[in-house]
Amino acid sequence: MTDLDLARAWLVDPASGREGPGDIVVRDGIIEAVTWLEGIDAEGIDAAGVVVAPGFIDLHAHLREPGNEDAETIASGLAAAAHGGFTTVCAMPNTSPAIDEPGVVAGIRAAAIVSGSPLELLVHGAVTVGREGGTLAPLGELADAGVAGFSDDGAPIRSGSILRNALAYAGALGLPVIDHAEDPDLTDGAEANDGLVATVLGLRGWPVAAEEAAVGRDLAILADVVRDVPSARLHLTHVSTGASLDLIRRAKSAGLPVTCDVTPHHLALTDDWIAGSRRWAWEASVDPWDVAAREAAPYASSLRVNPPLRCPEDALACLAAVADGTANAIATDHAPHTEVDKAVEFGLAANGISGIETALGVVLAAVDAGHLTLLRAIEALTSGPAAVLADRSRRARSVGLLEGSPADLVVVDRADSWTVTRERLASKGKNSPLIGMSMPGRVLLTMAGGRIAYEAPSD
Amino acid sequence: MTDLIDGNAAADVVVPSVDAAPDSQTVGWRHRHLLDVDELSTADLDLVMRTTDAMREVLARPIAKVPALRGRNVTILFYEASTRTRVSFEVAARNLSADVTNIAAQTSSVSKGESLVDTIRTVEALGARMLVMRHAVSGAPYLAAEVFGGSVLNGGDGWHAHPTQALLDLYTMRSRLSGGSVAGRKIVILGDVLHSRVARSNIWALTAAGADLWLCGPTTLLRGFEAWAGRGAAGGRRFHVTADVDRALRDADVVMALRIQRERMSSGLLPSLREYAARYGLTAARLALAQPGALVMHPGPMNEGVEIAPEVAAGAQSVITDQVTNGVAVRMAMLYLLAGVSAAGAAP
Amino acid sequence: MSGRRIMTADEIRRATVRLSHEIVEKQAGTDGLLLIGIQRRGVPLARRIAASIAENEGVEVPVGALDITFYRDDLSLVAQQPVVKGTELPSGIDGKTIVLVDDVLYTGRTIRAAMDALVDFGRPQAIRLAVLVDRGHRELPIRADHVGKNVPTSREELVKVHLEETDGEDGVEIERLVETPLAAEPVA
């Protein structure tokens, strides 16, 4: 257990909604004192320097173990998470075997312990056996084994009746059903967002309607279920379009128990990147056919992801959803892949971006550009996801800089930046479209459960 | 070409006049690859047209061969079955005295066969310096260009691009239209635009050359192009999109018919080929809506009786066989220009 | 002109006339003669020689143009000078006596390439060479049958021929090479 003295930093505390100059003292792994500075003591400290926030919580990451350890292991995934400032990670069940029975959950827990990582690793159980969409997995046994929610992600829950039953059953268990909303008939063979870029580059289009229709269906079913099971909860993950977010916004104001998250890549990157642009969604976009304006070669397979990168309007809608709270959380959908699966033709590449280490940088870019406040960004990375996890995380009731709690902290130097390189990525997955780019902010220290999980090298 | 001699000219060579005199050429050829027409400047296009003129003249000789690429290897790597284009490239390479290696590969996927990257590394180790590639997946040549040390010439990738086709189409139009230019001419591309790399590359080349371009076909096969036309291509170039075939063809100077494939029916995009032929097929009656003497073009292979009537394909206005000959000349020109860059080690 | 002038317009004219006489003398007439100018400046020179022959012998000797771009042995020149100027030969060179005409004879590589090209067109009876300037430094066993002027040069020098038809004025000059010229004439 560690001691830490952080003086004259910018503290961000989602628990109280407060941010400002302050000191933090950690003794033996426990936050001993949080002192907010005022008046003369506060002079010269601002949010552009060293920032201290609670360690981030990722609702959605693919750690690949068991079954695909070439792409990532629990150990490498947690190391990557710590590098990214995360202290709690939820692993999705599309492993091999899928997390559809307690034995697999136990195996993953054991791997986490063996890794020696101080991070909190939570696990989502599959909704259906083998994630095949046929019959319900043993949801009760999985709940007893400690899963944080149920999902068939990377696949949607195809059958409406399965979704209905899962929502009802899981509701009684007090756990959310997490759906990857996609109508697979509309996305058969699809490669990129159905828009101008796909048309110009000759890529098979992935219509917005494929997500919107599935979201609409899910919300309608949820509305039905809550009449019988008021405790039912639906969480829609990696929502990527304005149309879907509008539906969710309306459902929330109607009182439906739905939550959702967006990924960093969906709120900042756009399908223009496939044409060779490297501009953030909020920057002026460039004609995908303007070859002279290309900043990178087109068809980079690191950009192939499900849901696909959307047009700038949709990306800005995701950003706005974080700002106005429609999006409860930012979740990374960290999806590491091996070279073999990614160093191929765009249309043959596996879907996914290795993003847990660059999530903070992308979000800070949005904050720097004025599209998000720092407090709201930190909330979306901490208290927002904690609320979705309810009592499954040891931190859920206390996501903040709270005296007496074990230290789950991230210390970020916003005055610094770092260039993303393959060597610097702790994840085994080097499939990041941000390689070669400079990310704002640099994680200096990540503490989880009172122990140091990551410390920046002093070079 | 300017008047060079007073004596008997070489037999029957239609050598088109190109706009600028040779001496005004100041720029060389700097592109290491030819992945799409959109990378070429107007000066580059002029150079390609001019070099193609010279290659046409070579093709008219008793021995249609020059030693320009002697001792160099041109590797043809086709992941999609195609006899015409492959043979066209082979003939072009051999006419330049290059050594040709032909590889017919299967479209790679992780579970079967060698990956594209590994195949390219292998052919490079076997001595390939120029790679002519055709692939079923859009964007594949860009991956190849990253991995291959020599020059990549895109022979067609998925739905995306077919640069040599667009170049030979442009050359054919310029050589057959009076005035030698497509600027201001109404040119119609008729058919399955959505799946057509020929259409996409032609859109760039023809709008860059100032043509009045129209895309026409059933709405399901124009998906996305209406929005694109509304926005205009880079540099504010515009084109028209319509499902009204009569409107498209009226007073056209050039009509290019695209091949309709059977699988469009099974994927639900078209009710039947018969219906397509009836509503969009280029018949003599429809051709009559265009300008008298309008050019009839088709990238081949043709489904006669579906997208084009046999009598139109073989008729007096058809320049389809010209396209084939010009195709060899254009490909010779491109291989020649790209080989120069490899040899000089010029930066891409 | 920026270099040292070594031939004036008048000197070029006289040399051209002398070359035309020599060519006819060697052939003992004009039968079977075919003048082929090597692009670029060999072509107007060939035309001038033909005009001179016409004046003196009353016979129109056919003139052709030969572009040796595709026969050069150095492909790396393509990137800098890809422009092809065109070949037009009267049909049938079989049995003819061809006189290749070029402005400057230097290493001999251009002439070698020209002969390679001609072989693809047919089988001439004989091939001769007439040049306006021979500057020495042959790298191949090639010699000119008819020379306008012999000019000793060093490898650091460049011989530039200007003709009215291509450059607006007549003259030949020598320039000192400062660096590898990007847009210079190909090595002749």
Write out pLDDT tens, residues B229-253: 988 766 678 899 999 999 999 999 9
Residue spans of alpha helices (H) in C75-140? 77-80, 109-121
Chain A residues near residue B224 by CB distance under 8 angstroms: 194-196, 198-199, 205
Tell me the angle at which helices A208-228 and A160-173 cross, rounded to the nearest 10 degrees: 50
Is position B25 within any domain?
no
More confident residue, C182 or B140: B140
Residue spans of alpha helices (H) in A325-358? 339-342
Residue C84, pLDDT above cutoff 90 = no
Structure tokens at C141: 């066993």
Chain B residues near residue C76 by CB distance under 8 angstroms: 340, 343-345
Chain A residues near residue B139 by CB distance under 8 angstroms: 201, 203, 298-299, 345-347
Contact A345 B116 (CB under 8 A): yes
Identify whether A97 is preceded by a cis peptide bond (ω within 30 of 0). yes
Facing residue for B143 by CB, picked from A191, A299, A341: A299
State whether B190 and B331 are in the same domain: no
Residue B347, pLDDT above cutoff 50 = no
Contact C78 B339 (CB under 8 A): yes
What burial letters (b/e) apply to A372-392, b meaning 16+ CB within 10 Å?
bebbbbbbbbbbbbbebbeeb
Facing residue for A291 by CB, picked from B39, B115, B139: B39
Looking at residue A132, its pLDDT comes to 95
The number of folded domains in chain B is 2
Q: CB contact, 8 Å: B224 with chain A?
A: yes
Looking at residue B7, its pLDDT comes to 30
Looking at residue A300, its pLDDT comes to 96
The alpha carbon of residue A207 is apart from the nearest alpha carbon of chain B, in Å, by 11
Residue B113, pLDDT above cutoff 90 = no
Contact B110 A289 (CB under 8 A): no
Looking at residue B83, its pLDDT comes to 87
More confident residue, B105 or A437: A437
Residue B329, pLDDT above cutoff 70 = yes
Q: What pTM value is reported for the model? A: 0.88
More confident residue, A225 or B20: A225
Chain B residues near residue A202 by CB distance under 8 angstroms: 138, 157-161, 197, 200
- Tens-of-pLDDT digits for all 459 residues of chain A? 789 999 999 999 999 999 999 999 999 999 999 999 999 989 999 999 999 999 999 999 999 999 999 999 999 999 999 999 999 999 999 999 999 999 999 999 999 999 999 999 999 999 999 999 999 999 999 999 999 999 999 999 999 999 999 999 999 999 999 999 999 999 999 999 999 999 999 999 999 999 999 999 999 999 999 999 999 999 999 999 999 999 999 999 999 999 999 999 999 999 999 999 999 999 987 777 788 788 999 999 999 999 999 999 999 999 999 999 999 999 999 999 999 899 999 999 999 999 999 999 999 999 999 999 999 999 999 999 999 997 888 887 679 999 999 999 999 999 999 999 999 999 999 999 999 999 999 999 999 999 999 999 976
CA–CA separation, A392 vs A396, rounded Å?
7
Q: Which residues pair with A124 in a beta bridge?
A: A149
State whether B62 and B115 are in the same domain: yes
Q: Are A67 and A108 in contact (CB under 8 A)?
A: no
Q: Do chains C and A touch (3 or more CB pairs under 8 A)?
A: no
Closest-approach residue (CA) in chain B for A201? B160
Is position B9 within any domain?
no
Looking at residue C1, its pLDDT comes to 54
- Active site residue ranges of A: 333
Closest-approach residue (CA) in chain A for B139? A299
Is position B12 within any domain?
no
Domains of chain C: 9-154 (3.40.50.2020)
Report chain C's terminal Cα–Cα distance, integer Å.
21
Residue B11, pLDDT above cutoff 80 = no
Q: What is the mean pLDDT of residues B288-305?
A: 95
State whether B38 and B152 are in the same domain: yes
Chain C residues near residue B66 by CB distance under 8 angstroms: 70-71, 117, 120
Q: CB contact, 8 Å: C2 with chain B?
A: no
State whether B104 and B249 are in the same domain: no
Q: Are B119 and A345 in contact (CB under 8 A)?
A: no
CATH number of the domain encompassing residue A69: 3.20.20.140
State whether B275 and B175 are in the same domain: yes
State whether B176 and B302 are in the same domain: yes
Looking at residue B177, its pLDDT comes to 95
- Number of neighbouring beta carbons within 10 Å of residue A36: 16
The alpha carbon of residue B235 is apart from the nearest alpha carbon of chain C, in Å, by 28
Is position B155 within any domain?
yes
State whether B183 and B90 are in the same domain: no
- Number of neighbouring beta carbons within 10 Å of residue C76: 15
Q: Which residues pair with A177 in a beta bridge?
A: A150, A234
Q: Do chains C and B touch (3 or more CB pairs under 8 A)?
A: yes
CATH number of the domain encompassing residue B35: 3.40.50.1370
State whether B39 and B51 are in the same domain: yes
Chain A residues near residue B231 by CB distance under 8 angstroms: 196, 287
Across A49-53, B204-208, B325-329, least confident range:
B204-208
Q: Which domain covers residue A77, as residue numbers?
A: 55-396
Q: CB contact, 8 Å: C77 with chain B?
A: yes
Q: CB contact, 8 Å: C43 with chain B?
A: yes
Q: Are A125 and A147 in contact (CB under 8 A)?
A: yes
Looking at residue C2, its pLDDT comes to 67
Q: Are B337 and C72 in contact (CB under 8 A)?
A: no
User: Interface of chain B against chain C, CB under 8 Å?
Assistant: 1, 4-11, 15, 22-23, 25-26, 28-30, 47, 50-51, 53-54, 57-58, 61-63, 65-69, 72, 96, 336-337, 339-341, 343-346
Give the residue from C35, C78, C118 with the most B CB atoms within 10 Å of its CB, the best one to mutate. Answer: C78
**Counting Cβ atoms within 10 Å, is residue B133 exposed (0-12), middle (13-18) or buried (19+)?**
buried
Chain B residues near residue A299 by CB distance under 8 angstroms: 138-139, 142-143
- Beta strands (DSSP E) in A401-450 are 409-419, 438-448
Looking at residue B110, its pLDDT comes to 39
The number of folded domains in chain A is 1
Q: CB contact, 8 Å: C87 with chain B?
A: yes
CA–CA separation, B41 vs B316, rounded Å?
34
Q: Are B157 and B77 in contact (CB under 8 A)?
A: no
Closest-approach residue (CA) in chain B for C120? B63
Chain B residues near residue C91 by CB distance under 8 angstroms: 8, 10-11
State whether B140 and B88 are in the same domain: yes
State whether B66 and B197 are in the same domain: no
DSSP letter string, A128-166 = BGGGSSSSB--HHHHHHTT-SEEE-TTS----HHHHHHH
Is position A9 within any domain?
no
Chain B residues near residue A340 by CB distance under 8 angstroms: 110, 115
Question: Which of the four pLDDT bands, split at 50, 70 and 90, describes residue B27?
Answer: low
Question: Which of the four pLDDT bands, split at 50, 70 and 90, describes residue B108?
Answer: very low
Write out pLDDT tens, residues B125-173: 988 999 999 999 999 999 999 999 999 999 999 999 999 999 999 999 9
DSSP letter string, A226-272 = HHH-TT--EEE-S---HHHHHHHHHHHHTT--EEEEE-HHHHH--GG
Is position B243 within any domain?
yes
Is position B2 within any domain?
no
For B:194-223, CB contacts with A below 8 A are: 197, 200, 204, 223
Q: Which domain covers residue B273, as residue numbers?
A: 163-321
Who contacts B90 (Cβ-Cβ below 8 Å, separation ≥6)? B76, B100, B102
Taking the CA atoms of residue B154, residue B156, residue B158 and residue B159 in that order, the dihedral angle to the nearest 10 degrees is 110
Contact A347 B158 (CB under 8 A): yes
Is position B19 within any domain?
no
CA–CA separation, A362 vs A379, rounded Å?
15
| Percent above pLDDT 70 for chain B | 86
Q: What is the number of H-type helices and E-type strands within chain A?
A: 13, 17
Is position A209 within any domain?
yes
State whether B187 and B140 are in the same domain: no
Closest-approach residue (CA) in chain C for B96? C70
Q: CB contact, 8 Å: A33 with chain B?
A: no
Contact B5 C65 (CB under 8 A): yes
- Number of neighbouring beta carbons within 10 Å of residue B303: 18
- As a whole number, the mean pLDDT across chain B is 86
Contact B228 A196 (CB under 8 A): yes
Q: CB contact, 8 Å: B79 with chain A?
A: no
| Percent above pLDDT 90 for chain B | 70
Taking the CA atoms of residue C15, residue C17, residue C19 and residue C22 in that order, the dihedral angle to the nearest 10 degrees is -130
Looking at residue B194, its pLDDT comes to 94
The distance of Cα B344 from the centroid of its chain, to the nearest Å, equals 26
CA–CA separation, B97 vs B2, rounded Å?
28
Contact B7 C70 (CB under 8 A): no
Is position B268 within any domain?
yes
Residue B102, pLDDT above cutoff 70 = yes
Identify whether A307 is preceded by a cis peptide bond (ω within 30 of 0). yes
State whether B167 and B76 are in the same domain: no
CA–CA separation, A313 vs A70, rounded Å?
36
Q: What's the Cα-to-Cα distance from A446 to each of A25, A438, A452, rounded to whole Å? A: 15, 20, 6
